Amino acid sequence: MTIPTTPPRKRLFIRTFGCQMNVYDSGRMADVLAPLGYGPVETPEEADMVILNTCHIREKASEKVFSDLGRLRVMKEARAEAGHKMVVAVAGCVAQAEGREIVARAPWVDIVLGPQTYHRLPEMVARAARAAGAQIDTDFPVEQKFDLLPAPRAGQGPIAFLTIQEGCDKFCSFCVVPYTRGAEFSRPVAAIMAEARGLVAGGAREIALLGQNVNAWHGEAPDGSTWNLSRLLYALAELPDLPRIRYTTSHPRDMDDALIRAHGEIPQLMPFLHLPVQSGSDRVLQAMNRGHKVDDFIRVTDALREARPDIALSSDFIVGHPGEKAEDHAATMALVGRVGFALAYSFKYSQRPGTPAAGQPLQVAEAVKDARLQELQALLRRQQDDFNESCVNRDCDVLFTNPGRHPGQVMGRTPWLQPVHALGPLSLIGTTARVRVAARFPNSLSAILLDQKELACA
């Protein structure tokens, strides 16, 4: 029997590019549009409103937006012929960086809004509906969007994101984030705790705290004092029914001793940390304005492993930053060999307009970047495979999140964030269960539920 449902009055399609903060933001845009009658749909063709939530971090990422916009133009025209309107909005970091340029290149765009103005979306939609021309808002308003957005709707699923910090004051030579997300801002403790409680009440069993520099978070507590991230983690660990906590993305420079200690003391803090290092050469780190040396990174990662011996690390790397020489690249390879990563993201340096590195001489040739990336990725791939191999026959808890691709399968995440599938009932979704890892694949694991195995053996 199918349960009759009332279709949403207006159909909203959001495509999200870029980082997890954009995923969180897309959810908040859906929340802010829900009272206007917009409900989510899976494809853009029939949508009354399409939002592209964009990423500007590398050239390729931002160019994708314009190819999507080309396709949306065709859809919008087809809908107009059928007598329907389609509002096209560009949000996120490309919107912030390019603003009016987007409308100049794609005049069928109705709304351009930067990441700090999502709370103004209903007003912009209303104006766009009155066909008052393209609406552009890339302010960094004095009012805080977090104070004005509605509380996230429950039901994000067992794994929920919670933005606690936004923006960046670090100005790494290569990076657009300080320009697209603005100055560093930390949300206050009370707002974070209230949101976390709401997420848990809605079924979240893992909360990932988000921030561009999440470990630089320092929020005002109700008693007027200032907490740092470790203090917040201890408070979150007090929440009942929240077995898992993570935070991302951290800067090596802000990994203080208390935070490292928290990894040894808070069982809910998952033994996996994403800590981008970018390069293994002090010379390049300095040119990047990263504010730490290779030795600092090694000291932090050693201390983390001492505090929490089963911790796995992931990182980000850039090859071919202006001025990077063969010996710098060799130093990066050596650092990877020394530290060992369970997962990593590596990129060719991409010149971003307006950033200090973009104008530097000594840009590295594309072919050199290609060769360095290949060499680095081969090593990182081997390390990832080795890590996954080391999990085989190991027992661990999995948080089950959704049905698997095949009937009877459920999917979840290990403490080390690996996707894992197992045969088991759908009722496992939203719970953690003990498994034995059976096999590894390039980017996932398979596992056997231990209770079921015991049943099978009985």
Using the rule CB under 6 A, give the single segment among 17-25, 27-35, 355-363, 412-420 that binds ligand F3S: 17-25
Say which entry of ligand SF4, ligand F3S, ligand SAH, none residue 399 contacts (CB below 5 to 8 A, set by partner kind): none
Say which entry of ligand F3S, ligand SAH, ligand SF4, none residue 93 contacts (CB below 5 to 8 A, set by partner kind): ligand F3S
Residues 51-70 that bind ligand F3S (CB under 6 A): 55-57
* Chain residue at closest Cβ approach to ligand F3S: 18
User: If binding is defined by CB under 6 A, does position 441 make contact with ligand SF4?
Assistant: no
One-letter amino acid of 40: P
User: CB-hemisphere CA count at 13 Å for 126?
Assistant: 8
The whole-angstrom separation of Cα 385 and Cα 377 is 12
Residues 376-395 that bind ligand F3S (CB under 6 A): none
Nearer to ligand F3S, 24 or 227 (CB): 24
Contacts with ligand F3S: how many residues (CB under 6 A)?
Answer: 13
Nearer to ligand SAH, 145 or 352 (CB): 352
Say which entry of ligand SF4, ligand SAH, ligand F3S, none residue 318 contacts (CB below 5 to 8 A, set by partner kind): ligand SAH
DSSP string over 123-172: HHHHHHHTT-S-EEE----SS-HHHHSPPPPS-S-SEEEEE-EE--S---
Say which entry of ligand SAH, ligand F3S, ligand SF4, none residue 350 contacts (CB below 5 to 8 A, set by partner kind): ligand SAH
Helices (H), 238-365: 257-265, 282-287, 294-307, 326-339
3-state secondary structure of 396: strand
The whole-angstrom separation of Cα 330 and Cα 315 is 17
Say which entry of ligand F3S, ligand SAH, ligand SF4, none residue 87 contacts (CB below 5 to 8 A, set by partner kind): none
* Contact (CB, 8 A) for 253 and 171: no
What percent helix, strand, coil does the chain show, rounded to 5? Answer: 40, 25, 35
Least distance (Å) from ligand F3S to the CB of residue 119? 18
Least distance (Å) from ligand SAH to the CB of residue 27? 20
- Binds ligand F3S by CB under 6 A, chosen from 12, 14, 19, 51: 19
User: If binding is defined by CB under 6 A, does position 181 make contact with ligand F3S?
Assistant: yes
Q: How many CB atoms lie within 10 A of CB 414?
A: 24
Longest alpha-carbon distance in the chain: 71
The whole-angstrom separation of Cα 221 and Cα 218 is 9
82 Cβ contact list (under 8 Å, min separation 6): none
- Binds ligand F3S by CB under 6 A, chosen from 13, 18, 167, 284: 18
Least distance (Å) from ligand F3S to the CB of residue 17? 7
Nearer to ligand SF4, 40 or 356 (CB): 356
The whole-angstrom separation of Cα 292 and Cα 286 is 8
Which residue bears the tokens 């080795």? 386
Residue 102: in which H helix or E strand, if any?
helix 100-105
The whole-angstrom separation of Cα 244 and Cα 266 is 10
Residues 150-179 that bind ligand SF4 (CB under 6 A): 168, 170-172, 175, 177-178
User: If binding is defined by CB under 6 A, does position 175 make contact with ligand SAH?
Assistant: yes
Radius of gyration in angstroms for the set of CA atoms belonging to the chain, rounded to a whole number:
23
Nearer to ligand SF4, 251 or 348 (CB): 251
Least distance (Å) from ligand F3S to the CB of residue 429? 28
Least distance (Å) from ligand F3S to the CB of residue 231? 25
Least distance (Å) from ligand SF4 to the CB of residue 413? 25
The whole-angstrom separation of Cα 382 and Cα 215 is 29
Residues 250-289 that bind ligand SF4 (CB under 6 A): 251
User: If binding is defined by CB under 6 A, does position 242 make contact with ligand SF4?
Assistant: no
* Contact (CB, 8 A) for 95 and 113: yes
* Contact (CB, 8 A) for 352 and 176: yes
Beta-strand pair 49-54/10-16: parallel
Say which entry of ligand SAH, ligand F3S, ligand SF4, none residue 171 contacts (CB below 5 to 8 A, set by partner kind): ligand SF4
* Contact (CB, 8 A) for 415 and 270: yes
Query: Where does this chain bind ligand SF4 (CB under 6 A)?
Result: 168, 170-172, 175, 177-178, 212-213, 251
Query: Where does this chain bind ligand SAH (CB under 6 A)?
Result: 57-58, 174-175, 177, 212-213, 249, 251, 276, 278, 316, 318, 347, 349-350, 352
Query: Where does this chain bind ligand F3S (CB under 6 A)?
Result: 18-19, 21-22, 55-57, 92-93, 176-177, 180-181
